[in-house]
Structure 1
Amino acid sequence: MPLPWDSQHFEISVGQIISPALTNSELENILSYAKEQGYHLIYWATCPDRMIPLPLLQSFSGSLVDRKVTYQRKLSTEFTFGEIKNPSHSFEVIEFPRSQANQQLKTLALIAGAHSRFHDDPCISKEKFAGMYHIWINRSTLHEIADVVFIVKNSANMEDCLGMVTGSVKNGIGKVGLMGVQKKVQGQGIGSLLMKTLHEWLISNGIHTSEVVTQKNNIRACKFYERFGYKLESLQHYYHFWVQL
């Protein structure tokens, strides 16, 4: 199926294969058709045990660009998050107002996407990757694709945004969206504070299940979410095929 937004953003024809279960022959036929139709980039998500022969990958300049992990957990007011590290710092959580994202949030969005397939695919320019995540955070702060955005500041310097998380609710499930913490303050409990705040916001809105998507190669993020009670819900392998190369 064609992907109009991606095509417009990357300025090439982008499509996605919907079926996760295809034989090698079926996959080859679809990719050959996509090439004939003028597509440049094709996404395909499949199960992790699906092995694609190297000659087939090479024929369509394909590569595994993401091992997408989906985590879920039940929310409860009784859940203990533990103490925030480095109590000498006075961190303050603020709900970002519904407005355009500022430059600090755009920088944090790039940190959040540093392990994404759009960052790791060498055929996608860093400018296009950055543009995508700048749009993502801006649409989040405008509440077009997120319902809330929380930021953390240091009470001693309220101009400096140290971290942020976006959250939304879809079909009764809370979604953790973009989450980023400035590198200079990573490991000081800011991520924990953001998650605690978002969980409390979800519970206050009657939501009792939370879900987050990350990349399996982002080991730090996976360990972080697992530490907060998230359990593996699903794993998908994402391939990018550059069929015109």
Structure 2
Amino acid sequence: MQNKITDLKWDSTFFNKKIGELSVGQDHSAEEIKVNNYDLIVVKQVSDKPLSIPGYRETFKETKVIFSKNLYNVNSHLSTDILDTDNTLAVDSYFFELAYESGKYSRFLQDPKFGEEKFRELYREWVINSLNKKFAVKTFYLEENKVATSFVTLQKDDHTGKIGLIAADPNFQGKGLGRKLLQHAENYCLNNSITRLEIPTQKENLQACRFYEKAGYEIKDELIIKHFWRND
């Protein structure tokens, strides 16, 4: 059985590269992979099996984990000091640096083949499209002296919520801001018939994993993601 590569059209346009995605099942071998002049092949595996693609070099590997928590038993009281961009004159630039902080373990930054400039452009787009509701239904934040110190974005799919971005300014970390925002997002979910919340992160991001585990989340899924760039 031949593995099929799917064109990633948005990624290809954004990065100006021909990018494809390949999901490799446990029963598929590397010899079955057929490529067609891609600049980058993003490989997704359910287990970390050795893999080689002729003419391509692996430059990056991560384990993506999805944390999940049922929200039936959490307190549904909304905090009054957390701000909602729906009700404020939020400025995009307040959140850009926080977004970069949230993405410091992102494969788009960790793989040097993308470059930091494109990583920042990608996360700026993520912020803008979260605030205009394309990527998120809610953006909550805390501020000091009219500048955002932490924020969280929330997506919704039927009765499941998903955290998109969550971060605190490094100068304000260790003060419980992330915990406070996460609890607020949970409470919002409960008040809006969302009974489960999921959070994707990297297994290599030990600090984030410990934070979510301490907040009562458990790992629901794991996926190995690898980048194979065409040899120059």
Is the contact between residue 74 and residue 186 of structure 2 (CA under 8 Å) also seen in structure 1?
Answer: no
The alpha-carbon deviation at position 190 of structure 1 amounts to 0.4
CA–CA distance in structure 2, aligned partners of residues 180 and 116 of structure 1? 13
| Structure 1 residues 127 and 20, CA gap change in structure 2 (3 angstroms) | farther
What is the identity, as a one-letter code, of the residue corresponding to 1:124? F
Q: State whether structure 2 residue 64 is matched by structure 1 residue 23.
A: no
Aligned-residue offset at 1:163: 0.3
From 179, 203, 222, the equivalent of 2:166 is: 179
Paired amino acid for 2:142: V
Asked if structure 2 preserves the Cα contact closer than 8 Å seen for 1:174 and 1:210, the reply is: yes
> Where does residue 50 of structure 2 map in the other structure?
52
Partner residue of 1:134? 124
* 1:102-181 → structure 2 map (5 Å cutoff): 102-154=92-144, 157=145, 159-181=146-168
Q: 1:165 to 1:20 in 2, by over 3 A?
A: farther
Shift of 1:244: 4.0
Q: Tell me if 1:7 matches 2:3.
A: no
Q: CA deviation at 1:64?
A: 3.8
The answer as to whether partners of 1:57 and 1:63 remain within 8 angstroms in 2 is no
Partner of 1:243: 230
Task: For 1:183 and 1:57, locate their aligned partners in 2 and report how far apart those are by CA, in whole Å.
Answer: 40
SS in 1 for 2:66: strand
Secondary structure, aligned partner of 2:180: helix
1:93 matched residue in structure 2: 82
Question: Which sits farther off after the overlay, 218-227 or 63-72?
Answer: 63-72
Partner SS for 2:7: coil
Residue 160 of structure 1: CA displacement?
Answer: 1.4
Structure 2 unaligned regions, length at least 5 = 1-5
Per-residue deviation, residues 119-178 of structure 1 (Å, max 9, x unmatched): 110111101111111101110110001100001113xx2x11100000011132110110
What is the CA RMSD across the aligned residues, in angstroms? Answer: 2.3
For the residue of structure 2 that corresponds to 1:52, the secondary structure is coil
Inter-partner Cα distance in structure 1 for 2:110 and 2:54: 18
Aligned partner of residue 217 in structure 1, secondary structure? coil
- Shift, 1:108, TM fit: 0.7
Structure 1 position 100, deviation (Å): 7.5
**Larger helix proportion of the pair:** 1
Query: Are the aligned partners of 1:181 and 1:191 in contact in 2 as well (CA < 8 Å)?
Result: yes
Count, aligned residues = 224
From the superposition, tell whether residues 58 and 222 of structure 1 become closer, same or farther in structure 2 (CA, over 3 Å): farther
Contact 2:75–2:187 (Cα < 8 Å) also in 1:
no
| SS at 2:17 equivalent | coil
Spell out the pairing of 1:162-241 with structure 2 (5 A cutoff).
Answer: 162-241=149-228
**Partner Cα distance (1:18, 1:78) in 2:** 36
